[in-house]
């Protein structure tokens, strides 16, 4: 069974970003994928702000990243970029933490004007972490995501279809990926 790690860069909870990430995770779980969710907001502010690369609190997530076949990175877009919280979290990861991983970025924002933030802001950082198989990503405007009273999420039809299409591409990429030896994965 393939393993997916879903990382939320939202500083608030509940949030539309976290809701769409949970929804994507539930769809993948229905397809028999093991999906673990991690929220950058759950790490101590001191570790994040002071760049404590060796914090023991990071060891479990580093192990999850190494074990994962694919990653979903979700973030709200503020002022045309991903969150500072996500940046602080990503900065604490090893240099090539995402090497050999298939990555699906998901972003939410208040306006369609920030649609390209995935490409010009987030993807370069993910590439710096070793990601080479970055899928196009999904950008959703806040009004396309409605939280229900029971805590579930209701996406409007257009974004629901785009997300499902991207998840299908993500699953295909993961299931067709060739394993890389540990030695090659850690080569500089």
pLDDT tens for 70-126 read: 999 999 999 889 999 999 999 999 999 999 999 999 999 998 888 889 999 999 999
Indicate if the pLDDT at residue 13 is higher than 50: yes
Matching residue, tokens 């602080």: 88
Which residues are bridge partners to 146 per DSSP? 154
Residue-level pLDDT at 188: 46
| Neighbour count for residue 144 (Cβ, 10 Å) | 19
Q: Which residues contact residue 13 at a Cβ distance below 8 angstroms, ignoring those fewer than 6 apart?
A: 39, 41
| Angle formed at CA 97 by CA 36 and CA 128, multiple of 5 degrees | 120
Q: How far apart are CA 22 and CA 106, in angstroms?
A: 12
Q: How far apart are CA 182 and CA 143, in angstroms?
A: 43
pLDDT tens for 150-159 read: 777 899 999 9
pLDDT band at 181 (very low <50, low <70, confident <90, very high): very low
Report, as an integer, the average pLDDT of 54-64.
Answer: 95
How far apart, in Å, are the Cα atoms of 99 and each of 41, 76, 93, 174, 184?
A: 24, 24, 12, 13, 10
pLDDT band at 179 (very low <50, low <70, confident <90, very high): low
pTM: 0.90
The structural domains of the chain, ordered by start, are: 3-185 (3.40.50.360)
The gap from C-alpha 166 to its chain's centroid, in whole angstroms, comes to 13
Q: How far apart are CA 75 and CA 139, in angstroms?
A: 10
Sign of torsion, CA 144 163 18 185? negative
């Amino acid at each position: 069974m393939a393993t997916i790690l879903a990382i939320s860069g939202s500083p608030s909870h509940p949030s539309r970003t976290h809701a769409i990430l949970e929804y994507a995770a539930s769809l993948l779980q229905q397809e028999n994928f093991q999906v673990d969710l991690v929220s950058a907001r759950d790490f101590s502010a001191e570790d994040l702000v002071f760049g404590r690369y060796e914090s023991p609190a990071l060891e479990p997530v580093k192990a999850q990243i190494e074990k994962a076949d694919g990653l979903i990175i979700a973030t709200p877009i503020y002022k045309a970029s991903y969150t500072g919280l996500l940046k602080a979290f990503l900065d604490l990861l090893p240099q090539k933490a995402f090497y050999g991983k298939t990555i699906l970025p998901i972003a939410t924002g208040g306006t369609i004007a920030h649609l390209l933030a995935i490409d010009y802001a987030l993807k370069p950082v993910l590439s710096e972490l070793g990601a080479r198989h970055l899928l196009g990503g999904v950008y959703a405007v806040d009004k396309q995501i409605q939280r229900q009273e029971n805590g579930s999420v209701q996406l409007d039809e257009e974004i629901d279809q785009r997300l499902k299409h991207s998840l299908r591409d993500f699953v295909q990429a993961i299931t067709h990926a060739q394993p890389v030896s540990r030695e090659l994965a850690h080569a500089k």
